[in-house]
Each structure stands twice: as C-alpha cells, then as structure tokens.
Amino acid sequence: MPRPYRKPLRLFQRQKKKASHSGGSSGGQGKKFPYPPLDHYTFVPDLKANLEQLKEIFLNSSDVVKRDFLIGGQAKAAIIYIDGLADKKLIEDTLLRTLQHVPPELGRALVEKTAPLDRILEIIVPLADVSPIESISDIVNHVLCGDAVLLFDGYTKALATSTRSWEHRSIDEPLTESAVRGSREGFVENLRTNTALIRRRLKTPALRVENLCLGRYSQTNVALVYLHTLADPTLLQEIRRRLERINIDGILESAYIEELIEDNPASPFPQIDHTERPDKVVAALLEGRVALLIDNTPYALIIPTVFIQFMQASEDYYERYWLASFLRLIRFVVLNIALLLPSIYVAVSTYHQEMLPTRLLIRLAAQREGVPFPALVEALLLELVFEVLREAGVRLPRMVGQAVSIVGALVIGEAAVSAGLFSPAMVIVVALTGISSFALPIFAMAITIRLLRFIMLILAGVLGFYGIMIGLLAILIHLTTLRSFGVDYLSPVTPYHVRDFKDVFIRTPLWARHTRPTRIGYRDPWRQDTRLRPTPPKSSNQDPAEGGD
C-alpha cells in the first residue's frame, strides 16, 4: 500500500519548496496530520454533531476529556483536551471560569450571531496563544498535542488554546558525558526545552530551527538546527532529502533516525555522532555542522561526523591545552590497545614467541603452563566473560549491580586463575583492554571497537601477525571509503587538510585555532581574530594606560 502513507511528509515537501524560494528561510511549524487520515469527517455548525464525530474518532479513550458548558450562561460550547497533556489547572481556573462568567450580552451575541466570532473571542478568551481552526482533523491534531480546543454551537470554527504542559524530567546533568569542567546542563526529553538550551547559548537570528514531523503513528517532532550563515546549503538539502524519505510508523529514539539516514548502513562505524551536551551541539553548530533534535529523546545528532570527533571530548576544550593534547594522544594509544592488545598477545604467544625478549617469554610460558585452552580460546572466553559481566552490570538495578561486580572480579577473576583455567597474563590483558575501551570518550565508537576486537582476535588466532595486518588493512580500506554526508570520514588526516590538524592529534590553544574545519565550515572559514594570543605587558611597573591594546 504505497501512496497514502506519504501524507505526513507532504507538508514538509511544500515547506521545502517555499524555503528554497525564499532562500532557505526557517521551516514551518511542526503541524501535524493525524494518522490514519480523517478527511471524511466534516465540521458542521452543530455542536452536538461535532461532539459525536469526535467521540467516534477518539472511541471513548479514557484520557480524552470533554466538557459542555455555557458561555455567559447563554451560548452552548464545549471544551475538549487530553488529561495529562493539557494544563488542567489553567483550563479550570482561568479558561472555564472566565468563559462562564462573561457578561450575558456577549453570550447572547454569540447565540444570535450579531457580532463576528473572532471579535467576541478576542474579548472573552483570556489566553495569549490561540489559533482558530476549521476542520475536524485539525481539532484532533491540536487535542493530541495537548491543546485544549473550544467548540461553539452554530459555528464551523473552533479555537485551539495552547495549554500544553505535561510532566517531564527537569534539566539534569548529562549522565553519559559528564565533565569536570563545563556546563552541567544536559538535554531532556522535551524538544522545546532542548531548542531553548541551544538558543540560550546562541542568541542570534542566524540560528534556524526547522521543524518537521516524522513517524505515521508517533508523529514525532524533529528539529533541524543550524546556523544559516555557516551551514552548507547542499548539506542541508541532502539532510532534508534523507529525512523526507523516512516513512515509518514510529520514531522512539534518535537512533532510529541515525540508522535511517546514515551513508553506509553496513558499516560497523558510527557515522553520526550523538550527544547529550548542549555545549557540544553549539560547538558543532559553530563549526558549520548541523544538529538534529528529536522529541522524546535527550540525544541530539550531529551531522556530518568524522572519525576524529570520536576522539574528542568536550572537556578537551575547557582544560589547559597541554593536558588536553596529552589526553588526546593517550586516547589514540588507548584506541589501539582496545582494538589490538588481545590479538597481539594471542598472535605472539601462539605463533611468534621469538619476538618476545627472553625473560618475558619465560615468565609468560611459566604462567601458561597447565592452562588447558589454546591462547585464542582462552582470550575469547575471557573476553566473552568480560562482555557478559559488563552487560549484566548495565542492565541490572544498581543494588544488584554490585553483586555482579563482586562475582565478576573475585569469583571469576581470582578463582579462575587460581584454578588454573586462565593464565594471569591473559586476565591482565583482558582487563587492560576493557579499561581502555572505557577510556574512549564516545560510547558509540567504544562499542564499535569492542566488536572489531573480536574479529581481530579470531584473525590473530588463525593467522598470527598476518591476520592482524590484514584486519587492520581491511578496516583502513573500509574507513577510506566511508563518508558521512559527503564528508570523508578520515578527514582531515586523509584527505589531508593541514589547517585542520590543529585539532586532531593535539588540541592547539584557542587563540591559535583561527579557522573552521576546511570541508565543513568553508562558507565562513575565519572564526576569530588572528591576534588573540594574550600579550600582557612585560614589566609590572608599566603604565596601565599604555598596556591596553
């Protein structure tokens, strides 16, 4: 059944056309179409009939509240909203009370239609954000979004009052990306709060928030956020094109969108970064990247993403650059350890014993004495145990989690070694690898490395160093062909952009980072004055008046 399901996207297409006419102006409101379509219902000037229709549509859902009342004791009207999404207090205390107590003349005017509806509503409705609506499907939309809709007897016009307010998590510290220094605010599940968090950091009209609605049943709001002076228009076009072809029943997490718009769906590598930190999103926007915020998820997607971004933590930019550069270099070492250490150990101890210094070799051989498994099996078993322990620790409630770690560390670690099942060296190798994969700043990359580690392990166990080399070559060939929205995944290392090297292996000081990433921020390459290096006066007894500029 191909065609009718494209309906939720039609509005977006129209907006895109409009946007291209007016030079990429901000997109429309995230207006919703109910699904399945309600076109066969018509709005009639009879309150009772309309309520009947709505009753049929909502099928007595227990959370839909309908209430009839009289405006000024004269005119019949009804209000309909969803309990839990609309602000009950506002509706009861302000809206209903005011409407019921309007002067009777106004009520009579409504009944006798002596004055136009809009005029009367201007006088009697005590709320700021109201919008007139003229179809059943719009009524349903507004109700589903948490608006309270007023219906009047004798009119084919209803009034949606913005009473959206529901229980949500307050702004909290980002759990997965905590930082010693830096903002403690993290995104929440509410899209508006999230856009506000970004807007508060970028008080400029250049910040554009384009809304669109994805998911036939879920009708999830998705916001495309960018700085229109920096973001590449062809990139935006491409993102819109890829979002447009999403036709799915529901979007529950940013991962759904990530999986549906990435460049190479077969790749194990994450091609779109996600973050909980508004400051990280803003930093990305300032580089000319584009962010996607999705309602009901505290993660923002950053597009395009290159490999190096997975080596950068937002804290790198808040600490002194010496330390940050040091940590950056350590991360590259850690990346290699997490990927290769067990396979190198297996390769050396199985095939290439001659490569070890003699004393180390004797020590290792003594340890492996009596271990019943070949090194490959031993490594695979221990790695699997480690993965299982981690998985158990993640899924279990916190109280039980401790028990798991005790079982893991003491029973398996200690007892398995003393029982002679595993060699202590292998336990050390696996533990080091595990810690290293935790030290990678972005979880998405860490799990990729975890996965590739098993492949490398098997290759090393089968073919020794040759296996490791072909594994590495295969990964590199794959990475060189990978792109994220047209940007090469390994840039700026290859293709080589010398200006971007200031933020790859080391983090250069802020006053030396004059330019945006070559490929991404080319529309306005200079981000700051080139003479920002602090030049304090040399001697303390200098006249402070001269020291200024």
Partner 1 sequence: MREEGRISNWQLFMLIMAFLIGTSTLIMPVGPAKQDAWISYLLAGALGVGVAYLYTSLGLRFPKETPFQYAPRVLGKGLGTCLNILFLWYAFHLAPLLLLNFSELYVVAIMVNTPLMVFIGIMAALAAWAVRSGIETLGRLAELLTPFLIFVILVLNILTILTPELPRWENFLPVLGEGILPVVRGILPAFTFPFGETVFFLNFFPFLTSPRKCRYPFVLAVVLITFLLISVLLRNIAVLGPLEANRANFPSLTAIQLINIGEFLQRMDALIIFIWTFGVFLKLSVVFYVFTLGTSQVLGLKDYRPLVLPTALLLTFFAPTVYEHFHQMLRFASRTWPFYFFPGYFLYPAILLLVAKIRNIKG
Which residues contribute to the site for partner 1 (CB under 8 A)? 351-352, 354-357, 359, 463-466, 469-470, 473-474, 476-477, 480-481, 488, 490, 493-496
- In whole angstroms, the minimum distance from the beta carbon of 470 to partner 1 comes to 6
How many C-beta atoms lie closer than 10 Å to residue 421's C-beta? Answer: 16
| Nearest in space to 282 (alpha carbons), one of 179, 156, 198 | 198
- Residue 260 or 462 having the CB closest to partner 1: 462
- Residue 329 or 469 having the CB closest to partner 1: 469
- Residue 286 or 356 having the CB closest to partner 1: 356
Strand arrangement of the beta sheet that strand 290-294 belongs to? 207-214, 220-227, 290-294, 300-303, 273-275
- Residue 357 or 397 having the CB closest to partner 1: 357
- Residue 14 or 352 having the CB closest to partner 1: 352
- In whole angstroms, the minimum distance from the beta carbon of 472 to partner 1 comes to 8
- Residue 248 or 474 having the CB closest to partner 1: 474
| 415, 424 contact by CB (below 8 A) | no
- In whole angstroms, the minimum distance from the beta carbon of 459 to partner 1 comes to 10
Q: What is the DSSP string of 79-141?
A: EEEEBTTB-HHIIIIIIIHHHHTS-HHHHHHHHHT-S-HHHHHHHH---S-EEEE-SHHHHHH
Q: How far apart are the first and last CA of the chain?
A: 70
- Residue 300 or 482 having the CB closest to partner 1: 482
- Residue 29 or 481 having the CB closest to partner 1: 481
- Residue 35 or 465 having the CB closest to partner 1: 465
- Residue 203 or 359 having the CB closest to partner 1: 359
Q: How far apart are CA 195 and CA 225, in angstroms?
A: 8
- In whole angstroms, the minimum distance from the beta carbon of 494 to partner 1 comes to 4
| 220, 295 contact by CB (below 8 A) | yes
Q: How far apart are CA 217 and CA 281, in angstroms?
A: 29
- In whole angstroms, the minimum distance from the beta carbon of 342 to partner 1 comes to 16
- In whole angstroms, the minimum distance from the beta carbon of 232 to partner 1 comes to 20
- In whole angstroms, the minimum distance from the beta carbon of 365 to partner 1 comes to 15
Q: How far apart are CA 414 and CA 408, in angstroms?
A: 9
Q: How far apart are CA 286 and CA 55, in angstroms?
A: 49
- In whole angstroms, the minimum distance from the beta carbon of 219 to partner 1 comes to 41
* Residue 492, token pair as written in the block: 């700026």
- In whole angstroms, the minimum distance from the beta carbon of 352 to partner 1 comes to 6
- Cα–Cα distances in angstroms (integers) from residue 250 to residues 218, 256, 479, 501, in the given order: 5, 9, 31, 41
Q: How far apart are CA 492 and CA 518, in angstroms?
A: 8
Q: Name the helix (H) or strand (E) containing 344.
A: helix 321-350
- In whole angstroms, the minimum distance from the beta carbon of 480 to partner 1 comes to 4
Q: Enter the DSSP assignment of 515.
A: B
* Residue 284, token pair as written in the block: 């990305």
Q: How many residues does the chain have?
A: 549
The tokens 């700085």 sit on which residue? 227
